[in-house]
Structure 1
Amino acid sequence: MNGTEAAAAAAADLAAHRAGVTISELHGLDEMLEARRVLDRVWRPDPANPLITPELLRVFAHSGSYVVGIHRDGRMVGFCLGFLAAAGLHSHIAGVDDSVRGRNIGFAVKLHQRAWALARGITTVTWTFDPLVSRNAYFNLAKLGAAPSAYLADFYGAMQDGVNAGTESDRLMVRWELTGEHAVRSAAGTPRSVTVDSPGAHTVVGLDARPDGRPAVGRRDGDTVLVRIPAEIETLRHTGPSLARAWRYALREVLGGLMAEGHTVTGFTRDGWYVIDRRQESQA
């Protein structure tokens, strides 16, 4: 184990200790059955259309992919699956029980995933997330330091699980360069922050909220473009589904459009803004 791998393993162990969990690879079919139960509790899929089968999970594990369970007090409370891909490792799905949310378990899992990948010579992890979910955007772009590489409109098509039903499945693809500056600083507990100038000649607002909460598409001609998303889109999907859809289409137009033109998302602010630099071109 070289110095980078050792440091990554130490950071992962510390994060798991602080979260009060153990994270380990799964192998047996009984473990895969329990993992499927965890996913069912978190995502609430249609029983006729499971997210994944225990048999397929066992194949992934047997073939060398990342299949781990998160345990607390002897009970599996979370699960994560990543499979080998062209870029390195693609992290496909993860979830933890509501009973243990807010304990930084997600951060512990990502650091475990980073250490696991580096130990196998893998230096890039990719995954997707819903770009309208503010807490996930902050976690992925700021706390972990991952970089958006593509906006994928309605990537999965119509979904029927209890979390995503009724909304188009737009996703933001991100790349996490595990030996890069941002990942290293993240593992040490330092989030990636971005400095945002006040709107003016060089910094413009591409998407904001009107007083009634509806999205307002603005300018996209500045050096820096700020793109707002709602604080609680998951609640809005239940209380105002038509408004939630309006935000989906507005974000697809503005953020998706800017990324399609090759511009770089440089970060996400704590108060809900994507920051796009039109002077840089994406390397995706």
Structure 2
Amino acid sequence: MHIDIRPIETYAEYRACEQLQKLVWGDEFVVPLNLLTTVQRNGGLVLGAFIGQELVGFVFGFLARTADGRLKHASHMAAVRPDLRDSRVGERLKRAQREFALAQDLELMTWTFDPLLARNAHFNIHKLGAICRTYLRNVYGPEPELVDGILPSDRFQVEWWLVQSPITRPAAELIATAPLINPSLDAPPHITGAPILRLRIPSDFVKLQQHDPSAAQAWRYHVRACAEAAFAANYVVVDFIRSESQYVLVKPDA
């Protein structure tokens, strides 16, 4: 199966981006054609993955600044047709997006994802090598929280340092003995001050939401408390262990 990665160009291809968003996320938060085309023409990027003439994935990002004024590429959206999620289309798109940002002399790309989604954590943190030290509460609503039983849309904001990460991953043998921040769902965060900590999440949060909404809600607020406490203590997420469904955090100054 040959997959071609290239910028979106035609009206039909931009419309295909709209349709792919609806397929992946529904109708509520579709980035429309007029915004996609404007960003593409003004220093941003709308990059597509094609099989023949059919769009099967795309990424969308734009030039932005960090809080301290550093220029960066803000990656807002990445979508892949559901039946192709295990075919490395997403990884190829992100790698191509990296090359685009490097060509603009940028060293940093950021984006957000739900920290309770193990699949996304594995891809963003373990595979791509992004790090995280920022927790954002309820980015997309609802307001007030939990209206109609909808969970708050909390997110990790990750940093993907495109040349070299400022923080290295610890060795596996050190991670294995690191204490858990959350040995119990009912206990407060256990921030020990150790140089390495682990934070566990459900292995399949989507299924948990479907079958036990009250447990999903408990996990949302539990991980929020744990991550915020860890980041306040200057810990940084540097890896994700898929087999254990655990984040690995380090304290750079320890």
The TM-score range, normalised by the shorter chain, is 0.7 to 0.9
Hey, what's the Cα distance between the residues in 2 that align with 1:244 and 1:64? 39
**Which one of 46, 50, 64 corresponds to residue 67 of structure 1?**
46
8 Å CA contact 1:29–1:55 kept in 2: the answer is: no
What's the counterpart of residue 24 of structure 1?
6
Query: CA–CA distance in 1 between the matches of 2:84 and 2:212?
Result: 28
Match of 2:247 in 1: 274
CA distance in 2, matches of 1:79, 1:40: 13
Q: Does 1:220 align with 2:191?
A: yes
Once the two structures are superposed, the pairs formed by residues 78-93 of structure 1 within 5 Å of their partners are 78-86=57-65, 87-93=71-77
Q: Does 1:35 align with 2:14?
A: no
Pairwise mapping of residues 169-184 of structure 1 onto structure 2 (< 5 A)? 169-180=153-164
- Could you tell me which residue of structure 1 aligns to residue 181 of structure 2? 206
**227-236 vs 271-280, which deviates more?**
271-280
Cα distance in 1, alignment partners of residues 9 and 189 from structure 2: 51
In 1, the alpha carbon distance for the partners of 2:252 and 2:98 equals 30
Give the residue type in structure 2 aligned to 1:247: W
Contact 1:127–1:175 (8 Å) recurs in 2: yes
> 1:148 — aligned with what?
132
Give the drift of 1:197. 4.4
- CA displacement, residues 174-195 of structure 1 (integer Å, 9 cap, x when unaligned): 111111169xxxxxxxxx6752
Q: 2:152 is matched with which residue?
A: 168
Segments of structure 2 that go 5 or more residues without pairing to the other structure are 66-70, 144-148
Report the 3-state secondary structure (helix = DSSP H, G, I; strand = E; otherwise coil) of the residue aligned with 1:175. strand
- Which residue identity does 1:272 align to in structure 2? S
1:19-47 Cα deviation digits (max 9, x unpaired)? 7311111133332111101111111123x
| Runs of 4+ displaced beyond 3 Å | 196-199, 214-218, 278-281
Q: Alpha-carbon deviations, 1:106-127, whole Å to 9, x = none?
A: 1111110111111221221111
Q: For the residues of structure 2 that align with 1:93 and 1:150, how far apart are their CA atoms?
A: 18
1:38-88 Cα deviation digits (max 9, x unpaired) = 111111123xxx421111111111112011111113211112100110141
User: Quick one: which amino acid aligns to residue 229 of structure 1?
Assistant: I
- What's the RMSD between the two structures over aligned residues? 2.5
**Cα gap change, 1:218 to 1:83, in 2 (>3 Å):** closer
Check whether the contact 2:47–2:60 (CA below 8 A) recurs between aligned residues: yes
Provide structure 1 residue ranges, at least 5 long, that are not aligned to the other structure.
1-18, 160-164, 183-191
- For residue 220 of structure 1, give the secondary structure of its aligned residue in structure 2: coil
How much does 1:220 deviate? 1.5
2:2 maps to a residue whose letter is: G
C-alpha distance in structure 2 between counterparts of 1:45 and 1:240, whole Å: 25
Q: 2:37 aligns with which of 58, 61, 64?
A: 58
- Asked if the contact 2:48/2:93 (under 8 Å) is kept, the reply is no
1:99 aligns to 2:71 (yes or no)? no
In the superposition, relative to structure 1, how do residues 207 and 264 fare at CA in structure 2: closer, same or farther (>3 Å)? Answer: same
**TM-score normalized by structure 1?**
0.77
Distance in 2 (alpha carbons) for counterparts of 1:154 and 1:275: 23
Answering whether residue 14 of structure 2 is matched by residue 45 of structure 1, we say no
Deviation by residue 1:239-274 (Cα, 9 ceiling, x = unmatched): 111111100100000112211232222322122111
1:134 maps to what in 2? Answer: 118
> Structure 1 264/114 Cα, relative in aligned 2: closer, same or farther at 3 Å?
same
Aligned partners of 1:179 and 1:143: how far apart in 2?
A: 15
